[in-house]
Chain A
């Protein structure tokens, strides 16, 4: 088991090093941040630019800049934003919880909707309810999420004035962004729950439970659902990573103060330290979740460990 663990952790570390290298290189292709900062200035001279570049530290060779950035990760020192000089870790410290809370809320919406719907579809397999749920989830899957977001804002914020159109400010502000993100996941999750329930329902222990004369709801929720929960939880875990990647658009529409907004602004401002820190943190999260899932699998199934 120790050997398996070490192998997996080394792989994860390699992925992170590769990501940081690519990111550090790629952000520097976006252009000169000193030009960007002095864009409003008419009379900027090459001397002025050199001075600003020196203050930002972008005059150093790439490898020096990369090493500084990479070593900084271990002490959580991501440098300072080019725009205003705020320590990047403070910006991440504000944005990461906002993004994680939104991601969890979206997962919650998706799970709360997809499990009952998935079960309903499974038990009414082939009947109209199953067809109806299938069509609804197909529609859900084909919505572009920014469009859905705008429609929700029009209805709930402008026409009905029930919910705030943007910002993170209390429970009500979570509803629309979480629903927008959640609905896309729900569409796939309903299908997943349905398939997985159908498989479980055919197992012998379900037949036994029914033969014992247990009520249908006990059979469904106590016996079938619990048994198909393990693969579902794993899948939801992996989905969490994908969710973080797709959050930028939704954060922008709802002006959510998360990592997506931070990254979006940083691209526009050529703010290298912020951009590379956000991408590093996101990739560490995704790699971390994958690693946990791998380890969990290994613990459950000895065959994977020895592969």
Chain B
């Protein structure tokens, strides 16, 4: 028995020694991340879930790359040139890059990726619609491709840095099939896939052949934990090193701050909140009434009281990080007297009803909405809150034009381009715009899409923001921070605004 024990101990020692000898000096330690959702597939064409991106950004690369500073830099393409009035983009590809399975990265892989996205496989998924401008990819030589577009898409270069545009290995997919690829992803990123257990977690390890900065940890493990209190308990117990958004509610921040071993790290996110108006029916059809309601609510006070400093006030439906943000645009001040005047001018009788539709499971916004309702009460409107289950509100109420006078809209495109917000919120006939139709707005929105000069585009996007504020299309509220829970053993962590979290710079004690 003792002999047996000794033998096991010796073997363990030998194994440990062997492992230490083979592990490269730069990559040591395991980082465990709690992520709120299992996307079910790791194939880039299959999903829109941000929690796909928080894992997959470590596995795959795009032609372009955008890190925490939100600047667009070369990825698998070393340079690019926009030609033919934005209808063709020529990419020079990085040489000497290999996929995790040893397959070389080259022009064929790029062509394969986009043929697949726009072809039969892509048709089954939601990602394709985001890249609708791409007509085809033409191979010029082994390391040069031309991307031909059916119409200019000024945001396309940013979109190539994430999601559906991640470059996938053609030979690997042909040999193993689509189903296998869903559960066994292979890319060119800093971490390679080890194992995936549906609903439980996914494990990655450092990829020694990565073309960029080598990972500083050897293992990267994700556990899917949807319940916030459970994720925070795991962080407190030291079994999870990092809890990524959207998990931690604002109310839980003090619990983390009280614990000396863990901390809260935040950064501005793309997500903005507004109460949008029903501009087609009811009292909010009148612009003066909409303005009155904005004057009547002290948004700054609500943000300070309810959001504990984890949000900043917005003036248009975008945050500071957004391309198209206009720093000179001033908010309507809190002025209840002016609000009452405007209401009287518009002939609104005191006690008129205002229904506010919100997502029932969003406890923070629930508080915000209640505060808004009390302010509206003060200026003589009878505001009631009607919560809906999130999916019902997003799919069956807003797009169908069945809301009350005001409805919650939380929006945040990872591309951080105001086009991605404004077009869908304000253009006639869009899914998220069930009420408004304004030819001037439509024209502005359409005009910027055809322009490749980004400075000119930014000017038009700012004009759109100003025009929307002028017409008071929504009551702008706030830009929420992305909230991360972090163990003190994690070093060199930079929070990202958009969940596209690449962890090759991070190390652990």
Contacts and interface: CB of A to CB of B under 8 A. Distances in A.
A165 B424 contact: no
Interface stretch (B284-292, B306-314, B352-360, B389-397): B389-397
A52 B46 CA distance: 10
Contacts of A86: 40-41, 182-183, 198
Interface in B30-81: 37-41, 43, 46-50
Interface in B196-243: 197-200, 223-227, 229-230, 233-234, 236-239
Contacts of B48: 37-41
A248 to B, nearest CB: 12
Contacts of B413: 42
Interface size class of A (residues with CB under 8 A): 35 or more
Given A158-B237, A164-B237, A165-B237, A44 B431 contact: yes
Contacts of B199: 91, 94-95, 257, 261-262, 265
A44 B129 contact: yes
Contacts of B126: 37-38, 40-41, 44, 48, 52
Nearest to A55: B124
B39 A48 contact: no
Contacts of A268: 391
A199 to B, nearest CB: 44
A255 B238 contact: no
A51 interface: yes
B125 A157 contact: no
Interface string B405-427: 00000000100000011011000
A166 B197 contact: no
Contact of B391 (A40, A44, A270): A270
Nearest to B183: A86
Contacts of A83: 38-41, 47
Interface size class of B (residues with CB under 8 A): 35 or more
Contacts of A253: 227, 229-230
Contacts of B424: 42-43
Contact of B227 (A51, A91, A252): A252
Most buried by A among B47, B233, B239, B399: B233
B263 to A, nearest CB: 16
Contacts of A31: 391-392, 395-396
Contacts of A32: 395
Most buried by A among B48, B129, B183, B224: B129
Contacts of A157: 233, 236-237
A277 to B, nearest CB: 14
Nearest to B239: A164
Contacts of B175: none
Interface in B89-135: 123-130, 132
B241 to A, nearest CB: 14
A86 B420 CA distance: 31
A150 B179 CA distance: 39
Contacts of B223: 167, 255
A12 to B, nearest CB: 30
A41 B233 contact: no
Interface string A142-167: 00000000100110011001001111
Given A31-B392, A42-B413, A83-B38, 17 more contacts: A37-B48, A41-B126, A45-B129, A51-B124, A55-B124, A84-B41, A86-B182, A86-B183, A91-B199, A157-B236, A158-B237, A161-B238, A164-B237, A166-B233, A252-B226, A262-B199, A265-B199
Interface of A: 30-32, 35-45, 48, 51-52, 55, 81, 83-86, 90-91, 94-95, 150, 153-154, 157-158, 161, 164-168, 252-255, 257, 261-262, 264-265, 268, 270
17 contacts: A31-B395, A36-B391, A37-B47, A40-B48, A41-B130, A42-B423, A84-B40, A84-B47, A86-B41, A94-B200, A150-B229, A153-B233, A154-B233, A164-B234, A166-B230, A252-B226, A257-B199
